[in-house]
Structure 1
Amino acid sequence: MCAMLLSMTVWIVWSSREVRLREAKATTENMARTLAAQAYMELEIADVMLDDIVEQIRHDGNMDASGERLQSRLEQLPRNIAEITGVFIFDRQGEWLASSSGAGRDGNNSDRDYFTYHKTHAQPGSHIGAPVLSKSSGQWVLPVSRRVASADGSFAGVVLVTLGLASFERIYDSLNLGKLGTAFFALDDGTLIYRRPFQAELIGMDISSGAILRAYRETGPVGTAMMTAKVDETERLYSYRHLQRFPVIVAAGLSKEDIFAEWRWLSTQIVLASLAAGAALIYLFRKVMRQIAVRDRIEASLRQASTQLQRANADLAARASQDGLTGLANRRCFDETLAHELNRAQRSGHAVSLIMLDVDFFKKFNDQYGHVAGDACLQAVAGAVARSVGRAEDLAARYGGEEFAVIMPGTGAAGARDVAEAIRAAVEALQLPHAASANGVVTVSLGAATLRPGQERRTDSSELIREADALLYQSKNSGRNRVSTEAPAA
């Protein structure tokens, strides 16, 4: 028995750990996918713009002429595209020919790495350099540039587009990374472009020997693994993605500590409970061995424990199908019940009705009275709904947010309308103050749809839900605090 208890405890603890790890893996993969999409979009904008400007210069055949012609156009670009902080054209000596800042031609950027790169590399594509402090704005920017070639192929200059790191900061700050999580954006040669939490001294840092870049080189452009960061030596579950067409890799990681914090606490409780149960079993076994005469009393105790376990299991089953705030059935129970009743109705030919209802102006109620009052309002409305549904076979459920639903097997359209009207009246009778409502009190709008015997349509739950929901919004659009039903069958 003790061995079985130990095995079960180990299995439960390990299984819950695997579940938590899978959830964290899905979270980091989704975050990496989001970061990759944002980075690709911004780099694609810069790439297209560079291609357009270089093509214009090639068409003009003269860098100076192109600079004059493009100056006014360049000044408009950053205003139209928020991600771009500047666009510049430099001649072969690095002198400014044109810029979106409208500055004069007294600047020289021949000392920049991107300028040196294009001077020594004849590749026509865009080059993404390490972040730099902009000479024109003083802000951190990501330089994306292209080489301009003369008719004979020799180096004629550089076109530069700068992307502000602030545009990356906004989306990185929106990620829920926990206390020790991180996300970063780097070139695939290991040059760090941006990292959250942000530290200016880390910009441009070489992380090519770090675990993520090694994993990318060894396993491919997309991956997820538990790794230790080079920057802060913290172990995290990382998901990374390499962008198509651009030499860029993004990654998001949740710390192992954050991922398993709650699991450790729960596992400790489970282990302690198992140890206590194991100790009790050992004690009972030794007591039985010493005192066979008390066997009947022990058996009675075991039967009582079994009954308590059954009650606990029944209570757990009830909780699994119950909404924690309102006490009504939850969405999962609603979906299963509706599908079951529709299948039964198809076989038996009985009608099934569905009422969908929504608290009117609930967002305004929350804004004015606060979320605690909002929860109390939902509980009161749920109570009115439950009291208005009289039959045991009917199911009242919280559909989501401030929306509720009632499933009524064997009930036609007329009966559904009566119940819906009873619910509407019961909620209004609560007289819950609602200053943002034209009625001055909390009200609900309802829609009732019915699947009648012999109907070929609405054979699955989604169709019936859509019709009830459409009728609900018909009530809202007609002034709220009312019931809408479908036209009666001919």
Structure 2
Amino acid sequence: MLFNKKASPVCLATLFVVMACLALIGLDGWRTWQTREDLLREAGVDTSNMAQALAQHADQTYKEADLVLQVLQEHLAEDGLGERSLQRIGRQLMSQVNELPQLHGIFVYDENGRWLVSSQRTLMTQYNNSDREYFIYHKQHDDSAAHVGPPVQSRSTGQWIFTLSRRVNKPDGSFGGVVLATISFDYFKHYYENFDVGRRGAILFALNDGITLIRRTRETATTGKDLRNAAIFRDYASKMEKGSAELVAPSDGELRINSFVRLRRFPMFVTVAVSKDEVLGNWRHDAYMRTIGVLFLAGVFAALGRRMVRQVKHQVRSEYDAVNARAKSDQLNATLVQLAMHDGLTGLPNRRHFDRTVAAEMARMGKEKGPMSLIMIDVDQFKLYNDIYGHAKGDECLRAVAKAIGASRKRSRDLAARYGGEEFALVLPDCDIHGAMSLAYSLRQSVTDLRLSHSGAKGGHVTISLGVASLDPVREGDNVLTLIERADQALYQAKQTGRDRIVTYPGSLKSAVREESRKPSQPRSRQDG
């Protein structure tokens, strides 16, 4: 105990230094981690915004091409496929291709896949497009909606192109051919070069069936790759309209932050991915430098703290004797207080303790409007017992009765005290008259069961008389002396009417006998365990 007191200031000083160093390191670590999280969060927002912008651009690009096809469908339906009509349409197509930079070309094919007219100056009739995916699709589907096809190589230029087509019907509704708009691969490639996704980032533009239209990195631009087994398509883009995810690319093992958005009008989606390592590149350098600085400061602080702990140890050693002496003095004072508040013979609280407790409990019960009971107890014919057996035996008798009284307490708040001489008291806060009577009967029986011989008593053994009084409820104006006097009067009546009995206030011999004959089975007081 004394060693702990001596070491306590040293331990506290050491703990302070350690906690201060840990707090310095911990706060810097938390700040560094928060910076990292902020960078990743910003990267996610940036990629999401970029994907949204690129999706809107692609949607607008295809929408403009589709408007050209819709107008072309109307011209063919109104003017037919005559030579003059086709010549006029050809001139219009060349003009529209010049106005829309995304268009590689516009074409009209008949039901057999032959070229009827195009935006090119020379119509290449030697080619037949009946084997193309879009031609087969429209031949098998009678709807006139736009169809987005996979990337193909142009037969006329050899360039990679993206196709958007519509079906042309004959007057009877049968298949009459296809109108086709092709969008240049290079158009998207050059457009995506304006967006910085880092050295290891990528922009992906693909169909909803998982076929890549273009994947652009800083180094390369590719098309036609099947993404159906790629996590970004399989687990995300094929199931949701938009979102973000951190994924490891199987091709290069790079962990990237991916954001994807589907186009609003067409079955395609755009993905923007940035390398997580690149996002955190500068952060790592700053974190290393800052950590080195913080560890240096923590080391300096620890050295100063160690010196402070040594000074505290020196001070503790010089004060140890004084603290030890003070502890002994306090222990002696506590022992004196204990002796002053307890009876030396029986070990029960004494009259002084009783007076303080009953006053405090009375005040508390007055505020809570609860009941309070008091039992006054007297050892019957104790003077005669001393005369017969001597004072030494009398002391043993009092100790035995006091032990029984102390054991009768049911709750920690109850107080068993030696009131004076052979008289004892039980203070029962928050207990009504029924609970007090139940305890009184139990106590009276306990003393009887001791079978202490008393040849001068009527029954031949030591008995007690008990007076019970209760205030229910206690009011703030009630007096402690009132409760004591009532219990004392009940005790006096018990002794006057034959001893070895219990009397409640107010009562008479008749009521006391009646009460004694019907012992309650259960107390109706509130117990606190």
TM bin, normalised by shorter chain, reads 0.5 to 0.7
The equivalent residue for 1:436 is: none
CA shift for structure 1 position 109: 1.0
Q: Give the 3 Å change call, closer, same or farther, for CA 135–294 of structure 1 in structure 2.
A: farther
Q: Residues 267-305 of structure 1: CA distance to partner in whole angstroms, max 9, x if unpaired?
A: 11222223223333333333333355999xxxxxxxxxx
Give the deviation of 1:234 after TM superposition: 1.9
Does 2:204 match 1:184? yes
**Structure 1 residues 12-38: Cα deviation after superposition (integer angstroms, max 9, x where no partner):** 111111221122123212321221122
Q: Does 1:278 align with 2:298?
A: yes
Report what 2:105 is aligned to. 86
Equivalent in the alignment of 1:36: 55
1:263 positional shift: 0.9
CA separation of 1:152 and 1:216: change in aligned 2, threshold 3 A: farther
Gaps (5+ residues) in structure 1?
296-490
Q: 2:287 aligns with which of 264, 267, 287?
A: 267
Give the structure 2 partner of residue 20 of structure 1.
39
> 8 Å contact 1:101–1:136 — kept in the other structure?
no
**Residues 412-457 of structure 1 deviation map (CA, whole Å, 9 limit, x = unaligned):** xxxxxxxxxxxxxxxxxxxxxxxxxxxxxxxxxxxxxxxxxxxxxx
- Kindly tell me: are residues 263 and 213 of structure 1, through their superposed partners in 2, closer, same or farther at Cα, counting changes over 3 Å? same
Residue in structure 2 matched with residue 383 of structure 1 by the alignment: none
2:94 matched residue in structure 1:
75
Shift of 1:161: 0.6
- The SS at the match of 2:228 is coil
- Amino acid in the other structure paired with 2:98: R
Alignment partners' CA distance in 2, 1:169 and 1:209? 24
Where 1:138 maps in the other structure, the secondary structure is coil
Q: Deviations over 1:144-194 (max 9, x none)?
A: 111112233322111111111221122210111111111111111111111
Tell me the residue number matched to 1:96.
Answer: 115
Residues 199, 286 of structure 1: alpha-carbon distance in 2 compared, 3 angstrom cutoff: closer
Q: Distance in 2 between matches of 1:228 and 1:34?
A: 24
- Greater Cα radius of gyration, structure 1 or 2: 2
After TM superposition, give the deviation of residue 200 of structure 1 in Å. 7.6
Contact in 2 for aligned 1:192/1:204 (Cα 8 Å):
yes
CA contact (8 A) 1:89 1:98 kept: yes
Say whether the 8 Å CA contact 2:237–2:269 is kept in structure 1: no
Question: Aligned partner of 2:180: which letter?
Answer: L
Contact 2:199 2:218 in 1 (8 A): no
- Whichever residue aligns with residue 173 of structure 1, its letter is E
The reply on whether 1:47 has 2:37 as its aligned counterpart is no
Counterpart code for 1:77: Q
Contact kept, 8 Å, 1:234 with 1:255, in 2: the verdict is yes
Q: Cα distance, 1:65 vs. partner? A: 7.3
Other structure's SS at 1:213 match: helix
Per the alignment, residue 150 of structure 1 pairs with: 170
Residue 260 of structure 2 aligns to which amino acid in structure 1? Y
**Deviation (angstroms), 1:80:** 2.2
Query: What does 1:47-446 align with in structure 2 at a 5 Å threshold?
Result: 47-62=66-81, 67-104=86-123, 105-197=125-217, 202-217=222-237, 220-292=240-312
Q: Percent identity?
A: 35
1:430-487 deviation per Cα after TM superposition (whole angstroms, max 9, x unaligned): xxxxxxxxxxxxxxxxxxxxxxxxxxxxxxxxxxxxxxxxxxxxxxxxxxxxxxxxxx
How far apart in 1 are the matches of 2:98 and 2:222? 29
Moved more, 254-263 or 9-18: 9-18
1:4 and 1:94 mapped to 2: Cα distance?
77
Distance in structure 2 (CA, Å) of the matches to 1:258 and 1:186: 25
SS at match of 1:4: helix
String of CA shifts for 1:197-232, please: whole Å, max 9, x gaps: 278884111112223223444762121222223554
Shift of 1:46: 0.8
Aligned mates of 1:4, 1:207 — CA distance in 2: 49
Q: Sort the Cα spacing of 1:284 and 1:29 in 2 relative to 1 into closer, same or farther, 3 A.
A: same
Report the Cα distance in structure 2 between the residues aligned to 1:265 and 1:199, rounded to whole angstroms.
26
Secondary structure of 1:208 counterpart: coil
TM-score (norm 1): 0.56
Deviations 1:34-69 (A, max 9, x none): 211221121011111111111222234558775344
In 2, the alpha carbon distance for the partners of 1:86 and 1:23 equals 40
- RMSD over aligned CA atoms reads 2.5
Distance 1:200 1:258 in 2: 18
Q: Deviations over 1:371-422 (max 9, x none)?
A: xxxxxxxxxxxxxxxxxxxxxxxxxxxxxxxxxxxxxxxxxxxxxxxxxxxx
TM-score where L is the length of structure 2: 0.52
CA separation of 1:237/1:124 partners in 2, compared to 1, >3 Å: closer, same or farther? same
Indicate the larger mover: 264-273 or 10-19.
Answer: 264-273
Deviation at 1:111, TM superposition (A): 1.9
1:87-122 superposed Cα distances (whole Å, 9 cap, x missing partner): 111111111011111323222111211112212222
> 1:235 is matched by which residue type in structure 2?
L
